Amino acid sequence: MANQSPDIETEPESALETALRQLSAAAAHVDTDPGVIERLRHPTRVVEVSVPLERDDGNVEVFTGYRAQHDDVRGPYKGGLRYHPEVTAEECVGLSMWMTWKCAVMDLPFGGAKGGVVVNPKDLSRDEKERLTRRFAEEIRDTIGPKSDIPAPDMGTDAQTMAWFMDAYSMQEGETTPGVVTGKPPVIGGSYGREEAPGRSVAIVAREAIDYYDKNIEETTVAVQGFGSVGANAARALDDWGANVVAVSDVNGAAYDTTGLDTHAVPSHEEQPEAVMTYDAPNTLTNEEILELDVDVLVPAAIGNVITADNAGDVLADIVVEGANGPTTSTADAILEEMGVPVIPDILANAGGVTVSYFEWLQDINRRQWSRERVNEELESQMLSAWDDVRAEVEARDLSWRDAAYVVALGRVGAAKDARGLWP
Ligand code: NAD
């Protein structure tokens, strides 16, 4: 049942517009007090800070940083910090709302946040990035904390950035506080399996969808756009579980073999950036063609807004599993729904990242490290439980998978707000 009316003029919409539209769509199916919905349309706060940086040449530049906190009714705020020239306060608010729904659909005791610095990280030396990160940590120190708001890596930031951030916070607090951020290197309290988790969760959800739609994974063909952290880990897990991964792509195009690729032999973005085309495949495709391949499962796992009003009608896959955040525009979503192609949404499919971040936080506050096997087992059971919750709504209310995921999330956040009430 489509909630969006196809409107090519307005696509793609901003993260905030998408978040607000999805909130309204879910509210139509959930018996939640309108006052609660109204509260959820606004973030708790958006903190803006100035981050002065002494460049390597001795000049001082001042960058702008943000931390948007959407809602913490179910637990501490949680969400990434990005370093990107196009970071805005509005984008942080929209993405913080997505994090609220993502944590709620996974039933994690966290709310949503997002932040970042308006900077091109490619313009910074390693030393400059370290100084910027330490100063940013200090500027938002009163806003975050292991019991209140826990940042993580995002675009332009990584495990090393989180290590500097954690060190800066700990130095000022006077005690080592690993639980203040997740996505750290395992040697200082990071979790094994955190890096692979978003791709692994995409694979788990794809495997469940394959089964739900009465397909046998051994006879299933899969195409994956993007061969980075999410795409490569998803493709390799599905390959290991017996699926026939026939095409994978990076920014330069796709390697294609109807008999199946050896996904472990195709270089991932981390192993060798943008080298998918160096794999000796019998055929190649463009990034437009991979989206229109006649496969059982299509996994867009590169960037947002790739399935649009222009190409949605040409999608021949039977199932789409969103690996990237927001790969399907709302217009395309409505077209695919009309065509009867189920789209398993990002907030469920790639939520393995925040789920293992939660495991990392648990390990940090307990000062105890889990084995990779335990992380993967717990991730599997958390994903299956979320899948079952969303599936139940799909079946009970005849909803799309996306609307069902938002209904599950809003139901949980709304019930928590209801139970706690409005203070004062
Ligand atoms: P990455 O940088 O590791 O890899 C991105 C891949 O996409 C690379 O192979 C790159 O060549 C390819 N790519 C880039 N632009 C492309 C284009 N225009 N067409 C085709 N391919 C292109 O990134 P990632 O961490 O795997 O993230 C991919 C997506 O998943 C993003 O939308 C990200 O927000 C989302 N995501 C990432 C995580 C995470 O923790 N890594 C978690 C949840 C969601």
Structure confidence by residue, pLDDT tens digits, 265-297: 999 999 999 999 999 999 999 999 999 999 999
Find all residues with CB under 8 Å of 45, minimum gap 6, and list them.
68, 69, 143
Q: Is 112 in the pocket of ligand 1 (CB under 6 A)?
A: no
Q: Residue of the nearest CA to atom 8 in ligand 1? A: 228
User: Regarding the domain delimited by 197-349, which CATH topology (the fold level of the hierarchy) does it fall under?
Assistant: Rossmann fold (3.40.50)
- CA–CA separation, 7 and 416 (whole Å): 35
Q: Which helix (H) or strand (E) holds 69?
A: strand 60-71
Query: Which superfamily does CATH assign the domain made up of 43-180 to?
Result: Leucine Dehydrogenase, chain A, domain 1 (3.40.50.10860)
**Cβ neighbourhood burial of 102 (10 Å; 0-12, 13-18, 19+):** buried
Q: Where are the domains of the chain?
A: 43-180, 197-349
Q: Residue of the nearest CA to atom 15 in ligand 1? A: 251
Average pLDDT over residues 339-365: 98
- CA–CA separation, 63 and 51 (whole Å): 5
- CA–CA separation, 249 and 284 (whole Å): 9
Q: Convert the pLDDT of each residue in 93-150 to its tens digit.
A: 999 999 999 999 999 999 999 999 999 999 999 999 999 999 999 999 999 999 999 9
Q: Residue of the nearest CA to atom 14 in ligand 1? A: 251
What's the CA-to-centroid distance between 322 and ligand 1, angstroms? 11
The SS3 assignment for 149 reads strand
Catalytic choice (78, 102, 114, 417) = 114
Q: Is 198 in the pocket of ligand 1 (CB under 6 A)?
A: yes
Rounded to two decimals, the pTM is 0.96
Residue 2: band (very low, low, confident or very high) from pLDDT cuts 50, 70, 90: very low
* One-letter identity of residue 379: L
Q: Is 325 in the pocket of ligand 1 (CB under 6 A)?
A: yes
Same fold, 43-180 and 197-349: yes
Closest by CA position to 7, among listed 378, 359, 332, 346: 332
Q: Is the pLDDT of residue 54 over 50?
A: yes
147 belongs to the catalytic site:
no
